[in-house]
Amino acid sequence: MNGCFLKNMTKTFVVDGSIVRALNGLDLNVPKGAFISIVGYSGCGKSTLLKTIIGLITPDSGSLDFVGMDGRTGIVFQEPRLIASKSVKKNLALALKHQKDPAIKGKTIDEVIAMLGLTAFSNALPWQLSGGMAQRVALGRALCRQPELLLMDEPFGALDALNRTRLQDELIDIYLNKAITILFVTHDVCEAVFLGNRVIVMADGQVSRDIPVPLSYPRDKTSRGFISIQNEVLEAIVEEDKPHDQCGQIIGTRRKLCQKQRLREVTPG
Amino acid sequence: MGTMKILKARVLKQSAFPLLLLFIYLMVCRYNLANPYLIPRPGQIGNTFITLVAKGILQQHIFMSLRRVFIGFFITLGAALPLAVLFYFSHRLSQFFLGTLHFLRCTPPLSLVPLLILWFGIGEASKLAVIILASFFPVFLNTLSGLEQVDSQLLEMGDTLELNKREKIVHILIPEALPTVLTGMRLAFGYSWRALIGAEMIAAASGLGYMILDAQEMARTDKVFVGILTIGFLGLVFDMVTMRIIEKRFPWAVKEKI
């Protein structure tokens, strides 16, 4: 099977003198062409996982293999991380530094800009863009690299509901048209089920549950099947979210919120 | 509200106080409320200005002062900018020298004038030294702080795009630090202008500072007023021109910091 395979991945950090295991012998198979959503409570290792795959963090042990994939990756963070002094076009051009042919470079940038509906803003500076547009540029920058594996770390987390919904739809279009593999980290269970064809629940630096989402696109968030999978994911998160001495109170509050969200979603009307 | 209306409202607000001062001054002169020796009449100041311009004396002093400021300022840029970059990259070097630099920063350049005259004489070197001392720290410290304040997330993004160190400096560090650097340069120019006038009042045979001191010794308050107004006016013009260039060339910098 082609894809990206992580085996026994470990990474520890020292935070205020205590050791934190961000990745704790994690095994994960990401088949080529999959769209995997990753959820889990804060600090369970989701972002560390993405940063390890893209090479920002060196793991303490474990292996990362790309089979049938060239390992080209792109990443989108929660913040657009655009260079304030560069126009949209120039921000995208940064991602194409290996492309020496200016004609191909220009064509790739123009195509990505058109695909994301940013043509009118191609020469705009980041401060002239709305939050949603800036995040589109960040997505465009990742897509310019024509990645086989696109990593997304809560990319829509800071957007308003309208922009978030639009970008979710656009991302599904990109996924379906580009046959790209996506690893999508989110805190929003509804978003995870809406986008992914698998939802991975992470806890304590490991994969605790792998829940398939056998629903076709576009998905109806109010359908019985959707709500049922969403509840299953919520249950899995709450199950893994075992309180311990230091943060019992926070986790307790979060659990109540999860239950509240679940109740709201299963209650008709 | 349109841009022109906003601009007009701003100009009106900013000129209200100077106009009030001018009005008070005119009233003081009109009703002879002050000794003309202490506060010369507008006509007297105007005549002196015209005479100084006609004889080329004022232009000569302006030229000398500006020449000193620009030379000193550019020497400062040549030294402070690379040094700040060096300190940014070398933590050890910055630890070693920062204490000394902070000591020097707290020392007013004019307090060093007696020493500078002893070391460099009353020629151009001592005045350039004063300008460099006055403008060095705003440029150096703002550049260093601008570099240090560059968002580490942007540098991380540079890593994900496989940018090498040089590319990260050119595409991320310098552009992101530029607003703070420009603020430092603008401050530095103002500081060096003020310090120069002080230095010229202590040891010089030309320049606007010298002209004012000379006029005071000759009991020519009208000439002192011409000198002061010229200094203030030139300082304002340079600040406005610098600001306009920054706004035009670096609109994002104005939006972000200045």
* Pairwise CB contact (< 8 Å): A55 & B159: yes
- β-pairing verdict for A181-185 and A35-39: parallel
State which H helix or E strand residue B7 sits in. Answer: helix B3-30
Predicted ipTM? 0.80
Q: Is A252 part of any domain?
A: yes
Q: Whose structure tokens read 């989701």?
A: A46
List, for residues A89-146, the tens digit of each pLDDT value.
999 999 998 888 899 999 999 999 998 888 999 999 998 899 889 999 999 999 998 9
Whole-angstrom Cα distance, residue A9 to residue A27?
7
Choose the closest CB to B160 out of A54, A85, A126: A54
Q: Is A21 part of any domain?
A: yes
Q: Is A34 part of any domain?
A: yes
Residue of A nearest to B174 (CA): A85
Candidates B126, B72, B80; CA nearest to B105 is B80
pLDDT in tens, chain B (258 residues): 566 777 788 788 888 898 999 999 899 988 888 888 888 888 899 999 999 999 999 999 999 999 999 999 999 999 999 999 999 998 888 888 888 888 888 888 888 888 888 888 878 888 888 889 889 999 999 999 999 999 999 999 999 999 999 999 999 998 899 888 988 998 998 888 888 888 888 777 889 999 999 998 888 999 999 999 999 999 889 888 888 888 887 777 766 543
Q: What CATH number should be reported for the domain holding residue A218?
A: 3.40.50.300
Choose the closest CB to B154 out of A56, A75, A81: A81
Q: Find the domain containing A260 and state its range.
A: 3-72+147-266
Strand blocks (E) in chain A: 3-15, 18-31, 35-39, 61-67, 73-76, 149-153, 181-185, 198-203, 206-212
Count of the separate structural domains present in chain A: 1
Residues 238-257 of B with CB under 8 A from A: 250-253, 255-256
pLDDT at residue A232 greater than cutoff 50 = yes
Choose the closest CB to B167 out of A54, A56, A97: A97
Residue A238: which pLDDT band, with cuts at 50, 70 and 90? confident
By the CB < 8 Å criterion, does A245 face chain B? Answer: no
Q: Where are chain B's structural domains?
A: 43-256
CA B123 centroid distance within chain: 22
Right CATH for B43-256 from 2.40.37.10, 3.40.50.300, 3.50.50.60, 1.10.3720.10: 1.10.3720.10
List, for residues A184-229, the tens digit of each pLDDT value.
999 999 999 999 999 999 999 999 999 999 999 999 999 999 999 9
* Pairwise CB contact (< 8 Å): B176 & A83: yes
Give the up-direction half-sphere exposure of residue B178: CA atoms within 13 A in the CB hemisphere.
20
Residue of A nearest to B161 (CA): A95
Q: What is the DSSP track for B30-69?
A: HTT-S-TTTS--HHHHHHHHHHHHHTTHHHHHHHHHHHHH
Whole-angstrom Cα distance, residue A65 to residue A202?
20
Residue of A nearest to B175 (CA): A85
B134 CB burial (10 A radius; 0-12, 13-18, 19+): buried
* Pairwise CB contact (< 8 Å): B250 & A97: no
Whole-angstrom Cα distance, residue A59 to residue B57?
73
A240 CB burial (10 A radius; 0-12, 13-18, 19+): middle
Whole-angstrom Cα distance, residue A53 to residue A58?
9
Q: Is A124 part of any domain?
A: no
Q: What angle do CA A97, A101, A105 make, to 5 degrees?
A: 60
Q: Is A133 part of any domain?
A: no
Residue of B nearest to A145 (CA): B161
Contacts B250 to A, Cβ<8 Å: 85
* Pairwise CB contact (< 8 Å): B175 & A84: yes
Whole-angstrom Cα distance, residue A24 to residue A34?
23
By the CB < 8 Å criterion, does A84 face chain B? Answer: yes
